Homo-oligomer: A and B are copies of this chain.
């Protein structure tokens, strides 16, 4: 039976727990880490430690941040009366990179997913409702356009609308640069439903 050095096996096991990395990729990464100069490998170890020590969550929007509140919540040039709700901090990063939005965010830290045992109480919904005040003009629901994301958006809309705040959902339709011929049926239906005057 093949046995690798114990510490190598351990590294492979830990790497294989990362998302999208199976045992084969984990082994490849482990062998790469073995090959590179010691400083380069330790830089990765330190970056991981650093991130866990320095980075926390913004107590207002739950964005990942080294400061609290985060730089978005404290930015006076942003619109503080619009809140965009996303599932994860990585979604916030995607929206910010698109540079089309200038309001605040609220990160739910997940989405309602009964199959995974995640209910509304596991998300930052209470904190969201606490943020919505008289001066809040709009809540944009930017959860993912999949089954769980849609369900979460609907659930939130039912809670927020009665508070008298304008509640919107990001548009679902054909991605820019795509080809109608290869689009799936649900996306085409959504694109038709969401059609607008030009």
Q: Report which A residues bind B (CB closer than 8 A).
A: 1-8, 10-11, 14-15, 17-21, 25, 27-34, 38, 40-52, 54-55, 64-66, 71, 88-90, 93, 96-97, 99
Interface of A is mostly: helix
Interchain CB contact (< 8 A) of A66 among B2, B5, B29? B5
Counted per complex, copies of this chain come to: 2
Tell me if A8 and B51 are in contact (CB < 8 A): yes
Tell me if A38 and B14 are in contact (CB < 8 A): no
Interchain CB contact (< 8 A) of A90 among B6, B31, B64? B31
Closest Cβ of chain B to A108, distance in Å, is: 13
Complex-state Cα separation, A14 to B36, whole angstroms: 13
Known: A27-B93, A44-B14, A47-B14. A19 touches B34 (CB 8 A): no
Residues of B contacting A40 in the complex (Cβ-Cβ under 8 angstroms)? 17
Tell me if A28 and B90 are in contact (CB < 8 A): yes
Tell me if A42 and B52 are in contact (CB < 8 A): yes
Tell me if A28 and B38 are in contact (CB < 8 A): no
Interchain CB contact (< 8 A) of A44 among B3, B48, B89? B48
